Amino acid sequence: MTIELKTKFGQIDISNEVIATIAGGAAVDCYGIVGMASKNQIKDGITDILRKENFKRGVIVRQENDEVHIDMYIIVSYGTKISEVALNVQNKVKYTLDQTVGLAVDSVNIFVQGVRVMNP
């Protein structure tokens, strides 16, 4: 599935995997994020933290009518305020996708899959 952007020069098709990878990269740059978690908890195991090349496994990109919705599965660091971390991720993902792809995202839904204690 792809997201279609219409410009004055023509049409641009961007795959959901590319959008998911950009969104995952933006999310892990945020303070309080340990990593991305798999959306397939039963199959992959809830404790797995996804590596850079697998960020798209922790992100779902949905297009309904002309709206784009993103679901993200994250693992946060112990001792951080989860609501603030989630809000920061939402803002960063929306901003990054707008600046890099020109895609206006209607919603970024955050699903916290776990809390990890970071080693000092």
Domain that residue 25 falls in: 2-116
Which CATH number belongs to the domain containing residue 88 in this structure? 3.30.70.1350
Tell me if 75 sits within 8 A of 36, measured CB to CB: yes
Q: Please tell me the distance from the alpha carbon of residue 8 to that of residue 50, in angstroms, as a whole number.
A: 38
Total number of domains in the chain? 1
Instruction: Return mean pLDDT, the chain.
Output: 84
Give the pLDDT confidence of 36-56 residue by residue, as tens digits: 887 766 454 545 555 555 667
Question: Buried b / exposed e across 52-88, counting CB within 10 Å, b at 16+?
Answer: eeebbbbbbbeeeeeebebbbbbbbbeebeeeebbeb
Instruction: Please check the confidence at residue 84 and state whether its pLDDT lies above 50.
Output: yes
Is residue 120 very low, low, confident or very high in pLDDT (cuts 50, 70, 90)? low
Give the pLDDT confidence of 19-31 residue by residue, as tens digits: 998 999 899 889 9
- By percentage, how much of the chain surpasses pLDDT 90? 39
What lies within 8 Å, CB to CB, of 111 at 6+ separation is 71, 72, 73, 74
